Amino acid sequence: DVKVTQSSRYLVKRTGEKVFLECVQDMDHENMFWYRQDPGLGLRLIYFSYDVKMKEKGDIPEGYSVSREKKERFSLILESASTNQTSMYLCASSFLGKGETQYFGPGTRLLVL
Amino acid sequence: GQNIDQPTEMTATEGAIVQINCTYQTSGFNGLFWYQQHAGEAPTFLSYNVLDGLEEKGRFSSFLSRSKGYSYLLLKELQMKDSASYLCAVNPNDYKLSFGAGTTVTVRA
């Protein structure tokens, strides 16, 4: 079974703090993705990576950065957290190629005060 | 941009059938996915359609018409555990998915 894990289920941070969210997958997938999920808006892609050290912006990259130093690990960084970044963050991974299924982690619910 | 539309909410009775529609307008098409997401949990893969027609998997079926930009997910013999959000997602090009906002299905006894 594919397993995607995220470092925290719940996080509470202060405005201006630097926040790290980590994701690890154990299926040797080339692609990894970070989404945020907000009520009524669905899943929106923040960044994705198709290889180590490679990254591409998604639909809403502003205020975020990412790091992929190892194939199995993809980190999302909020350089200076703001209250409008309060959300559910979901990581996913898939094999390279069109039409490949994405497998999701359990999510991190982030509250920025 | 990509446009994926699905109803916000649906309610049905245990044992009944519910059909969740999804319409899409995207820059390309490499397939359509349906995911199930229980409250507070990760989305889990249900089905993938890339060719026109009906794919059946037990109580769940998914249909695709590429010419109409339309898909539906059919849930038969509804059970209480089917209460969840159902997400329609299109792979327009390369590796990315574009998601609809999701349909929350509530199953009542």
Q: Which of A3, A32, A43 to mutate to test the interface with B (most CBs of B within 10 A)?
A: A43
Judging contacts by C-beta atoms under 8 Å, the chain A residues touching residue B97 are 43, 45, 102
Distance, CA of B80 to CA of A105 (rounded, Å) = 24
- Measured in angstroms, the CA of B38 and the nearest CA of chain A are apart by 11
Report, in this order, helix, strand and coil percent for chain B, each rounded to 5: 5, 55, 40
- Cβ pair B95:A98 closer than 8 A: yes
Residues B62-92 pLDDT 10s: 999 999 999 999 999 999 999 999 999 999 8
What residues have CB less than 8 Å from B79, skipping those under 6 apart? Answer: B14, B107
At A2, the pLDDT band (50, 70, 90 cuts) reads low
Q: Residue A49, Cα to own-chain centre: how many angstroms?
A: 10
Six-digit token pair at A6? Answer: 């995220």
Task: Give pLDDT tens digits for A36-56.
Answer: 999 888 899 999 999 999 999
B20-79, pLDDT tens digit by residue?
999 999 989 999 999 999 998 999 999 999 999 999 999 999 999 999 999 999 999 999
Name the residue with higher pLDDT: A70 or A39.
A70
A–B interface: beta-carbon pairs under 8 A: 58
**Best residue of A3, A68, A94, A102 to probe chain B, by most B CBs closer than 10 Å:** A102
Using a CB-CB cut-off of 8 Å, the residues of chain B touching A50 are: 95
State the pLDDT confidence band at A96, using cuts at 50, 70 and 90.
confident
Whether the per-residue pLDDT at B1 is higher than 80: the answer is: no
Res A100: pLDDT: 87
3-class secondary-structure state, position B80: helix
